[in-house]
Amino acid sequence: MSRIDALPLLLHCDDHLLAFAKPSGLLVHRGWGDDAFTLVDHAREHFGDHIHPVHRLDRGTSGVIVIARSAEAAALIQASFERGEAEKCYLALVRGIPPEEGLIDHPIPRREDGPRVPAVTAYRRRFSVSAATAPDLPAHVQRCALVEARPRTGRLHQVRRHLKHLNHPLLGDANYGKGDLNRLFRAEIGLGRLALHAASLELVHPFTGARLRLEAPLPEDLTLPFARLGIPAAAWA
């Protein structure tokens, strides 16, 4: 991805923390790849060298991410995350039609090659695609759903792994999905990325104690494919 295409949107700025809407394809930190340009590079260019990522989003995931402006702020926010005080909401387009709502309680690794640890994700189906909503698309494309996922723990690829465990993997997922189906969705509706978006994040400000709600608008590389499936804007708002 080029530098111009990868520019994130600033959602929040104060003396202690920044929040961005990260586009799909942009790495947060160079330690997770060897890209020439990352979200951390962008933040340092505009806000100085004292930049500390406190959580991560996968390269393919878009949406809200918070960066601390001091080591102290980073430690406080990370501790708040560990205590489960932050509320994250993701939007995911998945294969098939999952149950209307449920709780996935399935241990997964906290980090690559680590031991499995408890992990919990609540989910709710927001919209079911069908022949009625997308009559001109192939049957395999018609059978999918928009899901809201709220992870209660922070594990590696948690939402992606948990929805696969539910037998409803994310579309566009090269690791946990199916390549032939991903290629079909790319060809039919223009879905050329992982269909996962960190829509909102609520956390307690580490210094003021105020509850801060951050929201990232759904980017065009998801709104256009969703519209082709007949998913109304109200379902992802």
In a domain, 178, yes or no: yes
**Domain for residue 209, yes or no?**
yes
**Exactly one of 14, 35, 58, 136 is catalytic; which is it?**
58
Q: Note whether residue 36 is domain-resident.
A: yes
* Environment class of 192 (CB within 10 Å of its CB; exposed 0-12, middle 13-18, buried 19+): middle
CATH number of the CATH domain containing 217 = 3.30.2350.10
For 33-76, what is each residue's pLDDT tens digit?
Answer: 678 899 999 999 999 999 999 998 999 999 999 999 999 999 99
Determine the Cα–Cα distance for residues 47 and 173; give it in Å rounded to an integer. Answer: 33
**pLDDT for the residue 3:** 40
pLDDT beyond 90 at 86: yes
Q: What per-residue confidence (pLDDT) applies to 2?
A: 38
Is residue 1 included in any domain, yes or no? no
Query: Does residue 236 belong to any structural domain of this protein?
Result: no
* Domain boundaries, position 217: 9-231
| DSSP 3-state of 233 | helix
Name the domain count of the chain: 1
The answer as to whether 51 is a domain residue is yes
Measure the CA–CA gap between 237 and 227, rounded to whole angstroms: 13
Judge whether 58 counts as a catalytic residue.
yes
What pLDDT, on the 0 to 100 scale, is given for residue 34? 75
- Report if residue 3 sits inside a domain: no
In a domain, 214, yes or no: yes
What band does 112 get if pLDDT is binned at 50, 70 and 90?
confident
pLDDT digit string (tens) for 15-37? 999 999 999 999 998 776 678 89
